[in-house]
Amino acid sequence: MTLFSRYMFRQVTSAFLLILLTLTAIIWLATALKELDLITSQGQGLTLFFHMTALSLPSLIALIAPNAVLMACLYTLDRMNGDSEIIVMTAAGATVWRICRPLIALGVIVSMVILLINVLVNPACMRALRDLITQVRADLISQVLQPGRFSSPERGLTFHIRDRSKDGELLGLLFHDERDSKQVMSYLAERGRILSNEKGSFLIMFDGYVHRYDAKDKEKSVQIIKFDQNMVDLSKFGPQNKAGNKLEPKQMPLMDLINPPVDEKLDEKDYGQLRHELHERLATPLYPIAFIFIAIALMGEARTTRESRWGQILTVFAIAVAIRVAGIMAGNLVALNAWAVALVYAIPVAAILIAAWTAHVRMSPELRSKLNFELKFQPKNIRLWAARGVQTG
């Protein structure tokens, strides 16, 4: 890189990192606030809270990075034109591609990082988050139960304990379950203990009663059953994944998307979701490069410092939004029709080619193009300068 290219690369990279970190922090904070119930109602610590929210950062970065590249590119071009730096380079004979080479380099680097996140980092983080949530749900009772307090981890489910012993045993346990519309059950036990093993987590109750009645029974006749020991599976509490233990498309490795496991029963809808996820991961990295070329096509030309460029900036944003929306629509269409895969890649690639052609045509010196046209098609009109005057050829 030349001295000017290194200088411009530092400028656009600094702006990109600042915008990326700012937007990521804002969106991460908004997302993290939704998980505050882990601390407030479920008794979890800050370590688990930050662990769970940090696992969502790679997906946020991959989502925000193309927009951050676009904003950094527009800011850099507008600032350098306002400081007459692009004007001086253009007057010195530098072409648009030589001036904007650092912007394209940044776009390629960001695209490679997004591809790495989509293929390797984000699926691994999604699987780790899934395992962490499963572990939290499996240990649900130890999280929500506080002595002398009624806790409801989900609608229709209520726990209460009188106290905890020093060895962690639950004393004076009340467990009320009315999630089943047909049958309501209440467990009363003198003491209880949580047992965890490879099969799951279980609540074992000692010396108690089960109160059971039919919810549709108008008389509410209660059946009371005494027990010395009773066990309840805790893994069934909390929101359940409709797919069971099967990984969702966002959690699956790339090779599993290409060749789904044979033992999983997949219908046409499942194959469509896998196809959508696969090509979304591979096509998304093309958008930073497309946004860079669009910005160069409309903002790379040197302009006078008295001329406002807000119209061009808004036009670049509008075109970028339209292209991204078109890409999202094509991705949704892929889930329904396999032939739409071509559209997923054609939209960003076409944007890159058209923007590059537009930039090349707009930035060509007008006098040089006119002279080339006259030399080729109108040789009789060419006038050659000599030492003593003008001679007509």
pLDDT of residue 69: 95
**156 and 275 housed in the same domain:** no
**69 and 176 housed in the same domain:** no
pLDDT of residue 197: 66
**312 and 276 housed in the same domain:** yes
Three-state secondary structure call for residue 182: coil
For residue 132, being part of any structural domain is answered with yes
For residue 174, being part of any structural domain is answered with yes
For residue 297, being part of any structural domain is answered with yes
Q: At what angle do helices 3-33 and 101-116 cross, to 10 degrees?
A: 40
* C-alpha–C-alpha distance, residues 112 and 114, integer Å: 5
Q: What is the pLDDT of residues 78-133, one digit of tens each?
A: 888 888 888 888 788 777 788 889 999 999 999 999 999 999 999 998 888 877 76
**133 and 157 housed in the same domain:** no
CA atoms within 13 A on the CB side of 44: 21
Predicted confidence band at 335 (pLDDT cuts at 50, 70, 90)? confident
**129 and 204 housed in the same domain:** no
Computed on alpha carbons and rounded to an integer, the radius of gyration of the chain in Å comes to 32
**299 and 343 housed in the same domain:** yes
**217 and 310 housed in the same domain:** no
Domain tally for the chain?
2
Pairing verdict, β 151-154 and 222-233: unpaired
Three-state secondary structure call for residue 55: coil
**150 and 214 housed in the same domain:** yes
268 pLDDT higher than 90: no
pLDDT of residue 81: 83
* C-alpha–C-alpha distance, residues 11 and 325, integer Å: 29
Nearest to 300 by CA among 9, 110, 105, 95: 95
pLDDT of residue 235: 59
**285 and 228 housed in the same domain:** no
**10 and 131 housed in the same domain:** yes
* Residue type at position 38: L
Tell me how far the alpha carbon of residue 212 is from its chain's centroid. Answer: 46
For residue 208, being part of any structural domain is answered with yes
**73 and 185 housed in the same domain:** no
Q: Is the pTM of this model over 0.85?
A: no
For residue 80, being part of any structural domain is answered with yes
pLDDT of residue 242: 45
Element (H, E) at 375: helix 366-377
Which phi-psi region, left, alpha or beta, contains residue 114 (left: φ > 0; alpha: ψ -120 to 50)? Answer: alpha
Q: 65: domain range?
A: 3-137+249-257+268-374
